[in-house]
Amino acid sequence: MGVIIRQGIKYSVVRYSAIFLGLLSTIFIYPLVLDEIGLVRTIQAIALVMAPIAHLGSNVAALRFFPKFNSDKLKAAGFFSLLNRTTLLGSLLVTGIYFIFQHPILEAYQVTNDTYSDIFILIPLFIFLLAFSQLYETYSANYMRIAVPGAMGELSLKVILPTLMILYINSYLNINQVIIGLLLSYLLLDLSLLAYLKQQVKGPLFARIPKLGKSFRKELRSFSAYNLFTSLSILISIRIDLIMLSAMTNFTISGIYSINMLVGEVIDAPRQAFIKIVNPIISKAYKDNDQEKIKDLYQNTSMHMFFASSLLFVGIISSIDDLYTIMPNGDLVATGKQVIYILGATKLIDNAFGINSIVLQHSKWFKFLLFAVCFLAGVNIINNYFLIPEYQMNGAALATLISGLGFNLLKFFRIKQKLGFQPFTWKIPVLLVIGILAYFVGTLIPAGIEENALMACLKIILRSLLVGGVFLGIAIGIKISPELNGLLRNFTTKYLNR
């Protein structure tokens, strides 16, 4: 667990630096352009949902089959070439699909002006560039490197988009130029990730695709196909809310929703960090038939992910009213306050259930994921269809919560049935109690949306210190995480006891 926690912490630092920049943008910039940020977030959500088709399963295969080629640098380079060729073919397929359905898409989003029509035509380019950046970032995990690729992806986009929006607000750019600038940032990201991979590989990055045996080709196609539909369905389950909300309401409402969605990004950062580093380790554990290691990772990551996400969730909801106070158009953005509670609970559930998708994905029961996510994607679409007209933003969030809980339960029972272990230990309910206690301690500092911005900022800082101090103090005191206590002890010895 030591390497996982260290890499997870490094990636989390990067991700939280990006989230901090995103938080500044969300508080001070995006509330001024609700319609435009709703448009941008919708385009990004569409690209994210369609990216698995562009991959054709290559990004998951990059982890699953890398150990078979890693012993020979030339073969590994050939495998990387195969992944790139597959993603290119998938991107061309997506482009064709998009232009076939272009007119129904424009009608669904009520796009009637030429400006937005021109922007929607660029969606295939977003999908193409996003697919390759995801492939390169995933492939970097094979070399136990997630912090630098994470910094490239997370920080660059968190800086560029608000910069473009500031230029737009001050009339230096129009919305079309903002979108073009965002596209160029994705292109720059792809090139940067490719250069970083070249440095890490220390050998040829591309080579002639090796001859693959008939049985391996069959295994590769089968695994990639199943994971294509699995990844697609997962993303539909978690991203269709924003896509359907924009189509069934308007971009302003989706802009408010996307701003309040930031809490989900913050709370989910620990899970994303652990998944990126644990993924190749789980793959190797299956190859070595090390069931005990898989069980240990499953339970340990669940506890640590829930630990971090609970701390973040409590810290956010205890200061949310003061956050709205310092936000331009805060009273309007606050209409989506319930979204924070609902999506925050969804992410807590995801973190508590741990790395169940990874455990199944690399097992011989990986096909079960296809059934589970296809069913839940359908349920999520139906839930959004009926809940959004009635509850709008809250309906979209509720649909995500219902599908997320159902998906995790299905995976939980499948792993329990086939592998005989589950992620929960006594530490999960203890952390829940600590979180509740820390929240109520935080309420000792009252919040109010009627206050001035300076007072609200001071109260956010004080309340965060109080909530964080109570939560971490109790957790460290009862040694709920021996690994965390060990890191703290090493830090103290190295830097404080000189």
Dig out the tokens for 320 from the structure.
Answer: 């949310």
Q: For position 163, what pLDDT does the model report?
A: 92
Do 284 and 19 form a contact (C-beta atoms < 8 A)? no
CA 308 to chain centre: 15
Q: Would you list the DSSP string of 321-377?
A: HHHHHTSTTHHHHGGGHHHHHHHHHHHHHHHHT-SHHHHHHTSTTTHHHHHHHHHHH
Do 468 and 311 form a contact (C-beta atoms < 8 A)? yes
Q: For position 4, what pLDDT does the model report?
A: 52
pLDDT digits (tens, 9 = 90+) for 4-38: 555 555 666 666 677 778 778 888 899 999 999 99
Alpha carbon distance 248, 109 (integer Å): 8
Q: Exposure string (b/e) for 419-436, b if CB count within 10 Å is 16 or more? A: beebbbeebbeebeebbe
Q: Would you list the DSSP string of 101-155?
A: THHHHHHHTT--SHHHHHHHHTHHHHHHHHHHHHHHHHHHGGGT--HHHHHHHHH
Higher-scoring residue by pLDDT: 236, 325: 325
pLDDT above 60 (res 55):
yes
pLDDT band at 495, cuts 50/70/90? low
Environment class of 153 (CB within 10 Å of its CB; exposed 0-12, middle 13-18, buried 19+): buried
Residues contacting 146, CB < 8 A, separation 6+: 7, 10, 11, 137, 140, 273, 276, 277
Higher-scoring residue by pLDDT: 155, 497: 155
For the chain, what are the domain ranges? 2-496
Do 294 and 359 form a contact (C-beta atoms < 8 A)? yes
Q: For position 24, what pLDDT does the model report?
A: 85
Distances in Å between the alpha carbon of 455 and those of 95, 329, 405, 429?
51, 18, 38, 35
Dig out the tokens for 444 from the structure.
Answer: 């000792």
Dig out the tokens for 232 from the structure.
Answer: 């697609």
pLDDT digits (tens, 9 = 90+) for 346-391: 999 999 998 888 888 888 887 787 788 788 888 889 999 999 999 9
Residues contacting 251, CB < 8 A, separation 6+: 34, 35, 36, 38, 39, 42
Residue type, 42: T
Helices 482-491 & 291-317 angle (0-180, nearest 10): 70
Of 359, 367, 345, 365, nearest to 299 by C-alpha is 359
Dig out the tokens for 468 from the structure.
Answer: 């964080």
CA angle (271, 276, 282) in 5-degree steps: 100
pLDDT above 60 (res 195):
yes
CA angle (475, 478, 479) in 5-degree steps: 80
Alpha carbon distance 449, 75 (integer Å): 60
Q: Exposure string (b/e) for 158-171, b if CB count within 10 Å is 16 or more? A: bebbbbbbbebeee
Reported as half-sphere exposure (CB side, CA atoms, 13 A), residue 260 has a value of 31
For the chain, the residue count is: 498
Least confident of 31-35, 112-116, 255-259: 112-116
pLDDT above 80 (res 141):
no
pLDDT digits (tens, 9 = 90+) for 446-488: 876 556 778 888 999 999 999 999 999 998 888 888 777 777 7
Residues contacting 29, CB < 8 A, separation 6+: 162, 165, 166, 169
Residue type, 306: F
Alpha carbon distance 355, 422 (integer Å): 11
